[in-house]
């Protein structure tokens, strides 16, 4: 399976989006005790704004590994969402790992402290205030569910693992701090289902490379499909982008497919 992601060009097509990534953190995800829901929801939230993920990394509760991953991503300039590990229990390491990656200490954020004290009153113990202890120099992400905030730095947003909290916090980041990245156009995708002799990716590489070069604003995808017995079913070949450009590219793809006498149908 290949998924060739191209960079939007200039002129009559949208400006390129920034690269967007995600960390999904927790031993419980990697062990299978809990099923990840963040990936699907994050792609949905981004798609509603004309954006898409470029990468996702699943990580366990290992502080050294988290520190190294955050060090790389913080230096990348990417827009990143990190879900999980910001609690105050011994198995939560995200806050400490981010601080280590930045080379700064942890400190009680004054706005976070005010929110936590407002939430718990006289029961805002030192242990609860740890929930507002973030790497120095970070900002806070409002939490509409229980008022205990997440934090952000360098366009990296660190939210809880609980979906009901994480998702509105991610929406806040996208809509209050990155509205300039939203693409107010609806992307479409069209594809052919190719079967029989000649319907192999290796046989169509030149066509794919030509489409990628001619339509740098589109995303080309090539997805082989197999039946349960291992037999080839079809090759799904198509593009995604603005409707007029998609139509033009698909006209070229279809013309080449017909010229090669490859059996085809439109994907439903």
Given a cut of 50, is residue 3 above it in pLDDT? no
pLDDT bucket at 183, cuts 50 / 70 / 90: confident
* For range 2-31, the mean pLDDT: 64
| Residues 73 and 21 sit within 8 Å (Cβ to Cβ) | yes
Calculate mean pLDDT across residues 34-50: 94
Q: What is the pTM of this model?
A: 0.75
For residue range 84-141, list pLDDT tens digits in order: 999 999 999 999 999 999 999 999 999 999 999 999 999 999 999 999 999 999 999 9
Closest CA to 82 of 94, 96, 71: 94
Q: Which residue has the higher pLDDT, 2 or 183?
A: 183
Q: From CA 117, how far away is CA 125, in angstroms rounded? A: 9
pLDDT at 66: 98
Residue 30: pLDDT band with limits 50, 70, 90: very high
Number of residues written out for the chain: 268
Domains of the chain, first to last: 18-181 (3.40.980.10), 192-266 (3.30.70)
- 81 neighbors 170 (Cβ within 8 angstroms): yes
Cα distance between residue 95 and residue 82, in whole Å: 11
The least confident of 5-14, 59-68, 102-111, 126-135 is 5-14
Neighbours of 194 (CB within 10 A): 24
Average pLDDT, the chain: 91
Q: How many CB atoms lie within 10 A of CB 33?
A: 9
pLDDT tens for 230-264 read: 888 899 999 998 899 999 999 999 999 999 999 99
pLDDT of residue 130: 96
């Amino acid at each position: 399976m290949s998924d060739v992601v191209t960079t939007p060009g200039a002129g009559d097509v949208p400006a390129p989006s920034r690269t967007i990534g995600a960390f999904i953190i927790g031993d419980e995800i990697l062990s299978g005790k809990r099923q990840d829901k963040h990936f699907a929801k994050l792609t949905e939230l981004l798609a509603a704004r004309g954006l898409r993920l470029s990468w996702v990394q699943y990580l366990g509760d290992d502080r050294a590994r988290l520190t190294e991953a955050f060090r790389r991503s913080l230096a990348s300039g990417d827009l990143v969402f990190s879900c999980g590990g910001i609690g105050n229990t011994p198995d939560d390491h995200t806050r400490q790992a981010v601080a280590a990656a930045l080379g700064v200490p942890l400190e009680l954020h004054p706005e976070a402290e005010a929110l936590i004290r407002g939430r718990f009153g006289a029961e805002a113990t030192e242990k609860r205030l740890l929930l507002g202890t973030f790497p120095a120099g970070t900002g806070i992400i409002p939490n509409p569910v229980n008022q205990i905030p997440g934090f952000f730095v360098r366009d990296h947003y660190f939210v809880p693992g609980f979906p009901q909290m994480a998702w509105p916090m991610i929406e806040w980041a996208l809509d209050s701090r990155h509205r300039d990245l939203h693409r107010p156009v609806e992307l479409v995708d069209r594809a052919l289902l190719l079967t029989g002799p000649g319907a192999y990716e290796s046989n169509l590489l030149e066509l794919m490379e030509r489409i990628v070069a001619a339509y740098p604003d589109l995303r080309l995808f090539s997805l082989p499909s197999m039946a349960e017995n291992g037999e080839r079913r079809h090759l799904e070949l198509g593009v995604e982008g603005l409707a007029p450009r998609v139509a033009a590219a698909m006209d070229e793809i279809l013309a080449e497919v017909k010229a090669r006498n490859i059996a085809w149908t439109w994907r439903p």
